[in-house]
Structure 1
Amino acid sequence: MKKTIVSIALSALAYMAHAGGIESLENFVRSAKSGKAEFTQVVTSPGKDGQVRTKTSTGTFEFSRPNRFRFAYNKPFQQTIVADGKTLWMHDVELNQVTSRSQEKVLGSTPAALIAASPDLGALRKDFDLQALPDSNGMQWVQATPKVKEGQLNNVKIGFKGNDLAALDITDGFGQRSQITFSKMELNTDIPAATFAFKPPVNADLVKQ
Structure 2
Amino acid sequence: MPTYLKGAMISALFSISTALHASAVDRLSDLLTRHDGIQADFEQYTVSEEGGRQEHSSGEFVLERPARFDWHTELPFEQRIVSDGEYIWIYDPDLEQVTRKSADNQVGSAPAMILSGNIEALEEQFDVRQIDDAPDREVFELVPQEADSGFVRIRLLFSGELLTELLLEDSLGQRTSIMLDDIKVDPAVDESRFNFVPPDGVDVILDPGA
Superposition TM-score tier, normalisation by shorter sequence: 0.7 to 0.9
Offset of residue 66 of structure 1: 1.3
Query: Secondary structure of 2:95's partner?
Result: coil
1:34 paired residue number: 37
CA contact (8 A) 2:156 2:166 kept: yes
Task: Work out which structure has the larger RCO, using CA pairs closer than 8 Å and 6 or more positions apart in sequence.
Answer: 1
CA contact (8 A) 1:21 1:132 kept: yes
Offset of residue 179 of structure 1: 0.5
1:114 paired residue number: 114
How far does the alpha carbon of each residue in 1:45-98 deviate from its partner, in whole angstroms, 9 at most, with x for none? Answer: 69xxxxx88111111011001111121111121111112101122112222222
CA contact (8 A) 2:41 2:180 kept: yes
CA RMSD, 1 decimal:
3.0
Matches within 5 A, 1:58-97: 58-97=58-97
Is residue 2:156 matched to residue 1:158?
yes
Separation in structure 2 between the aligned mates of residue 166 and residue 53 of structure 1, nearest angstrom: 17
Separation in structure 2 between the aligned mates of residue 201 and residue 150 of structure 1, nearest angstrom: 38
Separation in structure 1 between the aligned mates of residue 173 and residue 206 of structure 2, nearest angstrom: 27
1:171 paired residue number: 169
Is residue 2:146 matched to residue 1:143?
no
Offset of residue 126 of structure 1: 2.2
How far does the alpha carbon of each residue in 1:6-58 deviate from its partner, in whole angstroms, 9 at most, with x for none? Answer: xxxxxx9xx99x99975652222331110101111112469xxxxx8811111
Identity score, percent: 28
Separation in structure 2 between the aligned mates of residue 199 and residue 164 of structure 1, nearest angstrom: 32
The runs of 5 or more residues in structure 1 that have no matched partner are 1-11, 47-51
CA contact (8 A) 1:109 1:128 kept: no
2:28 paired residue number: 25
TM-score computed with the length of structure 1 as normaliser: 0.75
2:11 paired residue number: none
Is the radius of gyration larger for structure 1 or structure 2? 2
How far does the alpha carbon of each residue in 1:83-119 deviate from its partner, in whole angstroms, 9 at most, with x for none? Answer: 210112211222222222211132234211111152x
Separation in structure 1 between the aligned mates of residue 148 and residue 191 of structure 2, nearest angstrom: 33
Separation in structure 2 between the aligned mates of residue 202 and residue 163 of structure 1, nearest angstrom: 43
Separation in structure 1 between the aligned mates of residue 197 and residue 84 of structure 2, nearest angstrom: 11
Q: How many residues align?
A: 187
Separation in structure 2 between the aligned mates of residue 98 and residue 145 of structure 1, nearest angstrom: 34
1:183 paired residue number: 181
Separation in structure 1 between the aligned mates of residue 91 and residue 145 of structure 2, nearest angstrom: 29
| 1:37 partner letter | A
CA contact (8 A) 1:81 1:89 kept: yes
